[in-house]
Structure 1
Amino acid sequence: MKKITRFFWFCSGAHIDTLRKYPIEHNKYVGIGATIFFTALFAALSGGYAMYFVFSGNAFAVGFAIIFGLIWGTAIFNMDRYIVSSINKVGTTNQQILQASPRILLAIVIGIVISRPLELKIFDKEIRTKLKTAYLKGQRTKIDSLQKTYQLKYTPELVKNTDLKKEKDSLERDINRSRYELNQEVFGDKTNQTSGITGYGTYAKQKAQILKEKEDRLKTVTDNLGQMDQYLLKRRDFEGLSSTRLFNERQLDSLANVAGFADRNWALGQLSFNEKGKRDLDTYLAISFIGYLFIIFECLPVFVKLMSPRGPYDVAIAKISEANSYFAERDKDRDIAVTNQTFDHSLDTDVERRKRIISGQSDFDFERHSYD
């Protein structure tokens, strides 16, 4: 327990030797340090999870996620530790709040950054469903766009192909009717279209000739229609219509598994809206409260430091800081004085040397005379 307590004191940024002297402050700084530590832990998990999706599909994705998570968690830990330790209890409450306001804003930003990847993991199932729906809708829109472009680009060919199909259907009906009338003529059935004479006579030959002409035309139309269908089929392949299909369930699962951070973040934002585009209040509140929870959790060490009364540890730290400032100023003045004295001594030495040069006395003679 002593090691854990000392570790949390270190996390809080407290001066441990000074804090030991005031047992009444121990629990407060254990709580602050624990909050900073677990905030950094959540940040490491959040950063690692986000990096895992950045390198999703890579063999080293897990390694990159662990390394980045540790770096990100350490950075957040140092930042939080600095934010809390830099808040002193000197001055009025308003002055302390004003001093802490930039740090609170920074803590809010950190809380938002930490919460987003964790929200993605919490709503993973709903995000996958939303992504599948979006991918399927996007594929359907793509097919519709390709179909529209194809129809506009090949309008004359499509119109001609439709006319050929209509003509073929009409010829097939006429041929069936003409063949029936020819049979009636040959067998001597009396109708408005037949003579009623049995045998292959003049009227039967005429009807057979008309039937042959229609059959020849049908063959020509059928050949033209086949050529047009082949041409349009090749054009569909060229435009990508033949190869573009709606995704099946397995393909949608695969796409959702490899979705990047941006797609998942977009899907999370879309969860707050229903199919009609109106805000879904329940889902919106659930997502928002999770974000608010991490923001409050990140700001909690700062709030604890601000709300806690000024204790003996704060008084001791203020006195130590004031004493250090005093000794620093004194040492600075002393260094300036020593520097000035050294400078004056150097000036005196230069003056003596110039006098010796003028009198013709060498430095060696001067040093020997001084030694004697």
Structure 2
Amino acid sequence: MKKVTDFFWFCSGAHIDTLKRYPTEHNKYVGIGATIFFTALFASLSGGYAMYFVFAGNPLAVIFAILFGLIWGLAIFNMDRYIVASISKSGTTNQQVLQATPRILLAIMIGIVISRPLELKIFDKEIREKLKTSYLNGQRSKIDTLNKTFANKYVTEINKTAELKAEKDSLEKDINRSRYILNQEVFGDKTNQTSGITGYGTYAKQKESLVVQKEQRLETLRKELAGMDAFFARRKDLDGLSDQRMFSGKQLDSLANVAGFADRNWALGQLSFKEDGTRDMDNYLAISFIGFLFILFECLPVFVKLMSNKGPYDIALQNVDETYIYKSDKTKDQDIAVTDGVHDTRVTTEIDKQKQIVTRSSIRELERHDWD
């Protein structure tokens, strides 16, 4: 437990030698250090999971995810440790809040960043279903667009085909009706269109000839329609329309499995809305609460440091800082004094030299006057 305690003290950014002298402060900094450590652990998992999707399908995806997760976790750990350690308890409450404000904003940004990949994992099943629906709708829209483009390109041929089909359908009904009348004529059924004479006579032959003509025309129409169908088949192959098919269930599963981070992030955002565009409050609140939880977890060490009373460790740490500042200022003053002393000595020596020069000059001048 001593090693665990020392490790969490290190994570909290506390001055361990000073903290050891105040047992009442031990648990507080163990809690702060543990919060920082687990925040970095979640950040590592979040960063590794995000990087895994960036390199999805690559044989080295797991290795890249582990390396990036470790680097990202250490970076978050270092920032959190600095944020908590840099908050001083020596000032007033307003000063501490003002000092902690930029650090809280940074903690909020870190919480948002590390929560998003974990939200993607938590709502993985719902995201897959949303992606499948999106891919299916996208494929349907693509096929519809190609069909509209094809129809606009070959509007004349399509209209001609529609006319031939309409004529063919009408002619088939007319042939069936003519065959029925022919049978009535042969069997001698008296109607407005038959003679009522039984047997294959002149009227029957005339009606049969009319049926044959209509069947010949029908065969011609069928050949023309077959030619148009062949034409459209060739054009669809050339335009790429024949290759387009609606995705099967296995294809949708495969697409959802290889979806990238951007697609999954978009799908997570769409979970907050219903199909009619209105807000789905259940999903929205669930996603929001998870994000708020990680943001609060990231800000918790700063809040704990702000809410805690000024303890003996904080006072001792302040005294240590003031002592080192005093020693530093005193050493600086001594260095300045030594520098000033050296300067004074150099000035005095220079003055003495000038005095000696003046004295020798004066003696020579006196001796010259005495000689005269």
Q: Quick check: TM above 0.5?
A: yes
Residues 20-74 of structure 1, C-alpha deviations (whole Å, 9 max, x = no match): 1111211111111111001100110111111111111111111111111000000
Contact residue 236 and residue 242 of structure 1 kept, 8 A: yes
- The residue number in structure 2 matching 1:228 is 228
The reply on whether 1:135 has 2:163 as its aligned counterpart is: no
- Quote the Cα distance in structure 1 between the aligned partners of 2:327 and 2:42: 41
Q: What amino acid is the match of 1:145?
A: T
- The residue number in structure 1 matching 2:38 is 38
The reply on whether 1:64 has 2:39 as its aligned counterpart is: no
- Quote the Cα distance in structure 1 between the aligned partners of 2:210 and 2:199: 19
Distance 1:172 1:342, change over 3 A: farther
Contact residue 188 and residue 199 of structure 1 kept, 8 A: no
Residues 181-219 of structure 1, C-alpha deviations (whole Å, 9 max, x = no match): 556667776654455485565x56654554443333223
- Quote the Cα distance in structure 2 between the aligned partners of 1:254 and 1:237: 26
- Calculate the TM-score normalised by the size of structure 1: 0.84
- Quote the Cα distance in structure 1 between the aligned partners of 2:170 and 2:209: 18
- Quote the Cα distance in structure 2 between the aligned partners of 1:342 and 1:183: 141
Distance 1:308 1:197, change over 3 A: closer
Distance 1:214 1:18, change over 3 A: same
Distance 1:190 1:91, change over 3 A: closer
- Quote the Cα distance in structure 2 between the aligned partners of 1:96 and 1:244: 64
- The residue number in structure 2 matching 1:116 is 116
Residues 244-302 of structure 1, C-alpha deviations (whole Å, 9 max, x = no match): 22222212211111111122222222222233322222222222111111111111111
Distance 1:190 1:278, change over 3 A: closer
- The residue number in structure 1 matching 2:11 is 11
- The residue number in structure 2 matching 1:282 is 282
Q: Which aligned pairs between 1:310-349 and structure 2 lie closer than 5 A?
A: 310-335=310-335
The reply on whether 1:145 has 2:111 as its aligned counterpart is: no
- The residue number in structure 1 matching 2:243 is 243
Q: What amino acid is the match of 1:327?
A: K
- Quote the Cα distance in structure 2 between the aligned partners of 1:162 and 1:100: 76
Distance 1:4 1:198, change over 3 A: closer
Out of 311-320 and 170-179, give the one that drifted further.
170-179
- Quote the Cα distance in structure 1 between the aligned partners of 2:270 and 2:291: 16
Q: What amino acid is the match of 2:136?
A: L
Tell me by how many angstroms 1:85 deviates. 0.3
- Quote the Cα distance in structure 2 between the aligned partners of 1:226 and 1:236: 15
Out of 299-308 and 185-194, give the one that drifted further.
185-194
- Quote the Cα distance in structure 2 between the aligned partners of 1:348 and 1:174: 137
- Calculate the TM-score normalised by the size of structure 2: 0.84
Aligned residues: 349
Q: What amino acid is the match of 2:149?
A: T
Tell me by how many angstroms 1:98 deviates. 0.6
Distance 1:213 1:348, change over 3 A: farther
Distance 1:166 1:25, change over 3 A: same
Q: What amino acid is the match of 2:216?
A: D
Out of 227-236 and 30-39, give the one that drifted further.
227-236
- Quote the Cα distance in structure 2 between the aligned partners of 1:197 and 1:349: 160
What secondary structure sits across from 1:6 in the alignment? helix
Q: What amino acid is the match of 2:140?
A: R
Tell me by how many angstroms 1:141 deviates. 2.3
Q: Which aligned pairs between 1:139-218 and structure 2 lie closer than 5 A?
A: 139-179=139-179, 181=181, 192-193=192-193, 196=197, 198-199=199-200, 201=202, 206-218=206-218
- Quote the Cα distance in structure 2 between the aligned partners of 1:244 and 1:337: 89
Out of 66-75 and 130-139, give the one that drifted further.
130-139
- Quote the Cα distance in structure 2 between the aligned partners of 1:148 and 1:136: 18
- Quote the Cα distance in structure 2 between the aligned partners of 1:296 and 1:181: 89
- The residue number in structure 1 matching 2:80 is 80
- Quote the Cα distance in structure 1 between the aligned partners of 2:232 and 2:342: 99
Distance 1:198 1:296, change over 3 A: closer
- Quote the Cα distance in structure 1 between the aligned partners of 2:117 and 2:349: 71
Identity, % of aligned pairs? 70
- Unmatched 5+ stretches in structure 2: 351-372
Contact residue 25 and residue 311 of structure 1 kept, 8 A: yes
Distance 1:165 1:342, change over 3 A: farther
What secondary structure sits across from 1:273 in the alignment? coil
- The residue number in structure 1 matching 2:107 is 107
Residues 301-343 of structure 1, C-alpha deviations (whole Å, 9 max, x = no match): 1111111111111112112212222333344445556667778
Tell me by how many angstroms 1:125 deviates. 1.5
Out of 137-146 and 329-338, give the one that drifted further.
329-338
Contact residue 56 and residue 260 of structure 1 kept, 8 A: yes
- The residue number in structure 2 matching 1:301 is 301
Distance 1:191 1:278, change over 3 A: closer
